[in-house]
Amino acid sequence: MTTLETKLADLKLFQNVLIENAQKLVAATDDSKIRERLEKMMSSDRENLNSIEEAISKLGSTAEPRDITQKHAEKVGQMMDGSELSLYDKFFQLELLKHQQTMTGLVIHKVAQSLDDKLQDAVEPLNKVNFENRAHQEILKGILYFVGTREMAGKEPDMGIWGSVEQGIAALKGAVGSATS
């Protein structure tokens, strides 16, 4: 139980890290479409932070993130603030964090299912968070295509990429809808 509560505290910490780093990337890009997508993602991430806090509250947990998690969060912040990474690299780091967040949330939910109904009910708010984080990965994949093509080729990428990203998100939303009904 202590490990589960600590993982939830880690999840909350990195949800804040995701929001902070998305804000930094909004400021770092002059592409209005990318900024718009990041702002929508941040809005969703703020709502998801509330869902994570709700799960923590339902468990009555007072656990703190692990020291290694706090060090990781600090290192990510330093990399995102520094000039060693290109814009593409910074977006790639955000996508990696989003993947980590998605997988951690899915594992927490699975663990709770494995243990008992009370725990499963407590972490139920994570279902929405997990699916939205997965959709955010698709958005970030599209952003990586754009930023990477611009950075590496010095050219604009094929605009059809956004269409395929939107299709991927729609497919995920359809899967979520059928899974929840």
Please state, in angstroms and as integers, the Cα–Cα distance from residue 28 to each residue in 19, 127, 142, following that order: 14, 31, 17
Output the pLDDT for position 161: 56
Which amino acid, one-letter code, is at 28?
A
Alpha-carbon span 8 to 52, nearest angstrom: 7
Output the pLDDT for position 107: 94
Q: Could you tell me the pTM of the whole model? A: 0.85
Give Cβ neighbours of residue 104 (< 8 Å, ≥ 6 apart).
7, 10, 11, 14
- The alpha carbon dihedral of 86, 166, 16, 123 has a sign of negative
Which amino acid, one-letter code, is at 82?
G
Q: How confident is the model at residue 156 (pLDDT cuts 50, 70, 90)?
A: confident
- 11-66 pLDDT per residue, tens: 999 999 999 999 999 999 999 999 999 999 999 999 999 999 999 999 999 999 99
- 95-119 pLDDT per residue, tens: 999 999 999 999 999 999 888 888 8
> Torsion angle of alpha carbons 110, 114, 119, 122, nearest 10°?
20
Q: CB of 69 within 8 A of CB of 56? A: no
Q: Can you list the domains of the chain with their CATH numbers? A: 2-180 (1.20.1260)
